[in-house]
Amino acid sequence: MNRQPHVRADDLTALLGASLHEEVVRHFERSTGADRAHVERQVLECLRYLYLVSRHRERLGGLFLPVEQEIDEIWHYLILQTREYRALCEERLPGRFFIEHRSIAYEEYEQEPGREQAAEEALRWIPLYCREFGPFDEGALPHWTIVRFLHERMEMTLEDISALEPLGS
Amino acid sequence: MEQLIKKMAQDTVWQGWVAANSASAAAKDGCISAAPKDGCISAAPKAGCIS
């Protein structure tokens, strides 16, 4: 398979800017009591989520949040820094559009598409993530709900999960 | 992928998947109650918001 170069963690941090990145990390270290490495990984996965939505708007826009609540909180924090968030979305992320946010419970969300489509939508993130950032590792596992579910509840290895191909490919 | 989708759609697996997301969704609904902690009201002066 012809692989494009992966988007590196440093590249994503640079999109946010060193100053705002440090501010976000410090805020969540203070407010959650989590250690710095854990918070930095959460911020990285939040940026990866936003990057994917921006890069694959047609396929991923409007889908249920695939990451954990703590990462949603980081997203909320970024949204509140309105100028910087707008610049991140419209000037630095690849899609160059403002990424909207809307709260919705999963029970409400899954009524609309139905089970199989909702399952496909949850799985859709995986090959796109791996294509952009490389295979899932242990560090990403706690933050991506679908990956953790496949690993813990369906006993799939991270290698098997990362090898999933998009539907119809 | 197709087989995995069908497996996920089975009753017991699906219920587990909804539960995995509902835990998050419940906390997400708590965003309103978490707002004061984030400083939107009482902590706003501490956060030093600017336009």
Give yes or no for residue B48 having a pLDDT over 80: no
Q: How far is B2 from chain A (nearest CA, A)?
A: 7
Read off the pLDDT of residues B7-31 as tens digits, 9 standing for 90 and up: 999 999 999 999 898 865 444 432 3
Q: How far is A85 from chain B (nearest CA, A)?
A: 13
Contact between A71 and A49 under an 8 Å Cβ cutoff? The reply is yes
Instruction: Specify the number of domains making up chain A.
Output: 1
Three-class SS of residue B15? helix
A64, A103, A154 ranked by CB distance to B31: nearest: A103
Question: Mutating which of A65, A149, A156 best tests the B interface, going by the most B Cβ atoms within 10 A?
Answer: A149
Q: Where are the alpha helices (DSSP H) in A17-144?
A: 18-32, 36-55, 57-60, 69-80, 82-87, 106-111, 115-133
The answer to whether position A148 is within a domain reads yes
Q: How far is B43 from chain A (nearest CA, A)?
A: 12
> How far is Cα A76 from Cα A70, in angstroms, rounded to an integer?
10
What does the pLDDT read at residue A134? 96
Looking at beta carbons, which residues of chain A come within 8 Å of B27? 69
Low-confidence stretches of chain A (pLDDT < 70) are 1-4
B5, B31, B37 ranked by CB distance to A119: nearest: B5
> How far is Cα A140 from Cα A148, in angstroms, rounded to an integer?
9
Between residues A112 and B3, the one the model is more confident about: B3
Domain that holds residue A33: 9-162
The answer to whether position A3 is within a domain reads no
Give yes or no for residue B41 having a pLDDT over 60: no
Three-class SS of residue A144? strand
Contact state of B21 with A76 under an 8 Å Cβ cutoff: no
The answer to whether position A99 is within a domain reads yes
Give yes or no for residue B40 having a pLDDT over 50: no
Q: How far is CA A137 from the centre of its chain?
A: 14
Looking at beta carbons, which residues of chain B come within 8 Å of A20? none
The answer to whether position A139 is within a domain reads yes
Closest residue of chain B to A114, computed from CA coordinates: B9
Three-class SS of residue A137? coil
Read off the pLDDT of residues A25-44 as tens digits, 9 standing for 90 and up: 999 999 999 999 999 999 99
Which pTM does this prediction carry? Answer: 0.86
The answer to whether position A168 is within a domain reads no
Which of left, alpha, beta for A104 (phi over 0: left; psi -120 to 50: alpha)? beta
Give yes or no for residue B49 having a pLDDT over 70: no
Closest residue of chain B to A84, computed from CA coordinates: B51
Contact between A13 and A44 under an 8 Å Cβ cutoff? The reply is yes
The answer to whether position A27 is within a domain reads yes
